[in-house]
Every structure is written in structure tokens, then in C-alpha cells.
A and B are shown apart, each in its own frame.
Chain A
Amino acid sequence: MATIEMKHIVKKYGDGFPAVNDVSIDVADGEFLILVGPSGCGKSTLLRMIVGLEDITDGDMLIGGERVNDLAPRDRNLSMVFQNYALYPHLTVYENIAFPLRLAKVSEKEIDEKVREASKTLDLDEHLERKPANLSGGQRQRVAMGRAIVREAKAFLFDEPLSNLDAKLRGQMRTEIARLQKKLGITTVYVTHDQTEAMTLGDRVAVMKRGVLQQLASPRELYEQPVNLFVAGFIGSPPMNFLPATVEGTEVTLPFGTFPLPADKAERTAGKGLLMAGVRPEHFEDVSVIGEGEVDSSRTFKAHIDVREWLGDQQYAYVPYEAEATVQDQLKELARESDSDSLRTQLVVSLDASSKAEEDADTTLFIDTDQMHLFDPSSGENLTVGL
């Protein structure tokens, strides 16, 4: 039970490249913090610096108020679940879980009590005498967790613990981890590249890109008020749509037409030239679903849907559009940064499952400009943050 304070943490490798650059995060006691970002963003490096497996080039790392920069991993009293579990294959499940206790020279009776308790929590009772090689992926994962919770560590660290599991099991384990953390109330830092895990598990989420902390906020704030283009594009699935936009007076011009914009947003963005508008897929709707009369007709436009994906509870429709080369380049760059690939400029809209919109036909769509964000295309900064 402890706080973790990272103060201006820097990690430079031999070639001088900063893998982690001036990151400051305070993790409160009992908080569940998520580190998320595309691969190579430094999130795992940061985690390994907390646990002591990587040296800290610059800055201070405080655990429970004590500076731990120069302490060996074993003196930091943290427990960690590795991405590949790192179970000891020559030991039984029981001995794997008991390993940290044996090192701490705990009495045999106490070891037995604690191991049994952990195995009960994780439903491993019938596997205690088996070797890791004979366990399934999910069971191995639980053993790794057992080894982490058996000892009274100051904090739990998870390094992409679910990335090796199949989708269904991942969902179950995610809930299990959340439940366990709530029950034990231990400070937790969790690294993932999966934004579903990030959004569902964390009290707060730290989004990183190329070693730099982009935004540290609650999942809701991250989703609704992203501070820049990167965070806006990284969080949310399918991702936020980015469209070239210009604001004149209280109207915004998009490739599909000109729409009214709320006064406060317009005030901050009017006359700033070419901007990037961000609209989430769910902020579009098929007008025929809402009902013709119910909609503000100035916020509707005709769109040509080329592909439609029906998922049962909702459906995604894809609307290709032409964009200028400079805008295209920027969108490509943005997609590349968040580990995805955009092949063409298209709008992804999420429609109600009852929509009868057809493929390869024109449909009238509603756009909710109240929810729109406008970004400065050169700095990526969100000009409408907080509105």
C-alpha cells in the first residue's frame, strides 16, 4: 500500500534516444493507473523503471514517499505480472506462488496459509500440484497473478498481462483483474496497448507517445475532452473521424457541407484557416431513424455509403470522401502514430441498428456539431478543449 510518484522521469539509452522523456505522474494510494500508447511509446520502459529492472537516467521515483532510484528490484517490494508470465517451469504451481514467500523466509505454516488463500481467490486449487507446462494460457496467467498477490507488496505492476490470451478469455480476465484490485485495494500500474482495457480498468489513464506523456485523465475525460489529435485518434474504436474544416462566423465548413457550430466553439476557432475537425462515429445518425421532423435540417447532409457493417446492436457505415493531399498526408501520419493504417480518407459513422441505410446508395445523415472538436493541424492541439 503506497503511492508512486514519478517526477520528471527520463530514460535515455546508449544512443542518446530518450525512450521516456520528462514524465511526471502521481499515482495515489489504491489507485488503478493505466499506461497506454502505441508500441514503442515507452510505457513498458516506464513500468520497468518503477519496478527497478531499468535504470533511471534522470528524475526521481518515489514509492511510499521513499526515493527508490538506487534500490534493487528486491528492495522495492513491488510485485509484477509479466507479459509472458515468466513462471518457473521447474516448480509446481504451489511452489511458483510460494516462491516470493520462501525468499522472504516466511514460516512453512504461513506459506501454506497464504498460498491456499491466493489459490482460492484465483480458483487454482485443483492445479496446485501441476507444472506450468501442463496449464492453459488462462491458468498460467492466474498463476502469475497468484505469485503477485501472495505477498503484501506495496503495489502491483502489470505489463500487458492479457495480450497473450484469446479474445474471450481476455474479457473474463479483465473483469477478474478489476474485481481483484477492488478487493485488495492495492495501488496498481497497468501497461497495455489495448484501449478497451485502458478505458474499462483504469481510474486514470496516461496516454503516451514516443516517450512523452500526452494526457493523464479519467477514461471519460480522455474520450470526451482529448487534448490533442493523437489522444483523440488513439482513444475510441472505431476511431474519431478527422475532417478538414474551416470556421467562418458560427459556421463550420466540412467536405460534406457547411453546418452551424455552437458559439463558444466558433469563437475560439473562427478565422484560423484550415483546421482539423474531430467527430466521433456515434455523433452521426441516420435521419430516417430519428424522424425527418425531429432534426435540425441545417445539420444534415447527403452521404454516399459504400460499405455497411451490421453488428446487431449497431452498424457502421463507411463514407469515402476526397481530401486534399496535405490533409491526406496528415491523416496518414496520425494513423501511423497510433499503430493503425488508413488506406483511404473515409468517414466512419455509427448508425442505429434499425437504420435501413443501403450500401452504394445515398442516405441523409445528421451530424452533431455540438460534440465536435476542432484541432490546430500543425500543433495537433485541441482548440475546443473543455467545451
Chain B
Amino acid sequence: MSNVKERVGTGVGVTLILLWCLLPVAWIVSLSFKSQEAVTNGSPGFFPASGAGAGFDNYKQVLQDDAFLLAIRNSIVVSLSATILSVALATLAAYAIARLEFRGKKFVLTTALVIAMFPVVSLVGPLFDMWRTVGLYDTWWGLMIPYISFTLPLAIWTLSAFFREIPWEMEQAAQVDGATPWQAFRKVIVPLAAPGVFTAAILTFFFAWNDFVFGISLTSTERARPIPAALSFFVGADPFNRPASLLAAAAVVATIPIVVLVLFFQRKIVAGLTAGAVKG
């Protein structure tokens, strides 16, 4: 009896949370299938009224827009490179922090945390000036550098926690088996820390992909402008009448890579991969 009650309770709870989280997403999806007129005329129904549906027209229009396509390219290149570089650097740094005793270790960790807490907006002004002087303004690197520096702390903290979980004996066994420290790291430690590496990678990618502040302030043309910034330039013919359904379609397109990425990496983030290494 209580079992049934419990199940019903869980079901209701889950439904509520899902509704709460997914309603905005559903609304955007619904909006993206309505025609521009239907939106302006005010037809607030979830499903487009008859004749107000636009089918995939909005998507076609978005994907034919050169500016948007370039923005997608920029976003993918910048986010992926920033993720790869950040995770690679963080892996090395976190390994050192987890395994070596050196002076200033605490300092490194605290500084990393402080950087992570720094309000991003306060840095935009100085960066804008600096990047213009150095020539990084409106380039991929100009975005990648701040992304890397803001995601490194979190990645280092996540990864060093993972490395600490891996027993010392793993590396020692590898070394006795004839591995150099680098081989022990690459063949034993990195595979074991893979869940941590993927976690860090996803978090970094989110940050870079969703960033708006740097994207809008440190770019001026399609050369480097990422999607979130590009969306705000998506004004259409009449600047006072923004094409809501087009924007919705563009937003959906921008969200797809994130969803795909999470679904793909989710399989890799399997907790307890070290199970069986040592007798618990």
C-alpha cells in the first residue's frame, strides 16, 4: 500500500519539477513553429492556431542567415578550443596539486577559487581596452583566453578531487611494472580520472557556449561573434518589431549542441570507475 503511495508521490514530484524546468523550453519550441504574424497578432496558445503555423520556415530562414551560420562556427570553435585547452591544463595542474607537496600549494588553490568568484562584468572594461591595444579584440583568441581563465579554477578543483580519490598504489604499481611517471599518468591515472575529466569538460563547455558578456563586448563583427551575442543582433527588418519566432528558432538551434553533448558525455560520467582497483 505504502509502496503505491510512494510511487504516486514520486511521480507527481517528478512531473512538477519537469514542468517547472521544461516549460520555458517547450514554450520556445512552440514559438519557433509559429509564423511571425501569429506572434504579432497575439495568439498566445501553446499550439499555433490553424493557419498560424509556420512549419519549419523559421528554421530554414535562420539556417540561411550567413551571420547566424558564422556565429555557430565561432561558438563551436571558441567553446571547443577553450574546453580542450582548459581541461588539458587543469588535468596537469590538478595532478600536481593532488600528488606533489610543494610550497605555495594552498596559495595556488585559494587564488584559483578567488578568480572563480570574481565578477565577470568588472573585467570586461579593462579587457576591452587591453585586447584592442594588443590586437586580440574581435578574434577567437580574445574570447578563448578569458573563457580558459574563468573555467580553469573550477576544472582544477573538480579534477584534483578526482585525482585524490585514486590510490597512490596505482601509480606505484605502474612504476614498478616499468612505467615512467608520464606513462603511469597517461595509461593509468588519466583513464581512471576520465569521469572527472568529462565533468570538467562539460562545465567548461557550458560556460563558454552560454557566455554573453564577453561575447558581446569583445567582438564587433561576424569574425568572432558567438551565438548568444549574435542572437541579440537578430533584429530583422523592423528594429521595433523583433522577429520573436525567428529568435526562438535560432535559440533552439543554439541549444541543440549542448543537449547532444550532455547526452553523449553522460554515459562517460560513470561514478565509481575505480571500483575493483583495490580491496575496499
Asked if A and B bind, the verdict is yes
Is the C-beta of B276 less than 8 angstroms from some C-beta in chain A? yes
- Is B172's CB under 8 angstroms from A82's CB? yes
Q: How far is the CA of A74 from the CA of B173 in the complex (A)?
A: 10
Is the C-beta of A308 less than 8 angstroms from some C-beta in chain B? no
Tell me the nearest residue of chain B to A165, going by C-beta: B279
> Contact string, A82-103, partner B, CB cutoff 8 A, digits 1/0?
1011111110000000011001
> Contact string, B170-190, partner A, CB cutoff 8 A, digits 1/0?
101111111110010001100
Tell me the nearest residue of chain A to B191, going by C-beta: A90
- Is B183's CB under 8 angstroms from A103's CB? yes
Tell me the nearest residue of chain B to A53, going by C-beta: B172
Chain B neighbourhood of A131, CB < 8 A: 276
- By DSSP majority rule, is chain A's interface helix, strand, loop, or mixed? loop
Given contacts A85-B279, A133-B275, contact A73 B176 (CB under 8 A): yes
Is the C-beta of B263 less than 8 angstroms from some C-beta in chain A? no
> Contact string, B86-119, partner A, CB cutoff 8 A, digits 1/0?
0000000000000000000000000000000000
B277 to chain A, nearest CB (A): 4
Q: How far is the CA of A132 from the CA of B174 in the complex (A)?
A: 16
Chain B neighbourhood of A85, CB < 8 A: 277-279
Tell me the nearest residue of chain A to B279, going by C-beta: A164
Tell me the nearest residue of chain A to B272, going by C-beta: A133
Chain A neighbourhood of B191, CB < 8 A: 90
- Is B276's CB under 8 angstroms from A84's CB? no
A93 to chain B, nearest CB (A): 11
Chain A neighbourhood of B218, CB < 8 A: none
Is the C-beta of A137 less than 8 angstroms from some C-beta in chain B? yes
- Is B176's CB under 8 angstroms from A53's CB? yes
Is the C-beta of B274 less than 8 angstroms from some C-beta in chain A? yes
- Is A133's CB under 8 angstroms from B276's CB? yes
> Contact string, B240-280, partner A, CB cutoff 8 A, digits 1/0?
00000000000000000000000000000000011111110
Q: 10 additional contacts, CB 8 Å, given A53-B176, A103-B178?
A: A73-B175, A74-B179, A74-B180, A85-B278, A86-B167, A87-B173, A87-B278, A133-B275, A133-B276, A147-B173
17 A-B pairs with CB atoms under 8 Å apart are: A53-B176, A73-B172, A73-B176, A74-B175, A74-B180, A82-B173, A85-B277, A86-B172, A88-B192, A90-B191, A90-B192, A90-B273, A99-B187, A104-B178, A131-B276, A132-B277, A133-B275
The 7 closest A-B pairs by CB, nearest first: A133-B276, A84-B278, A86-B169, A132-B276, A86-B173, A100-B177, A89-B277
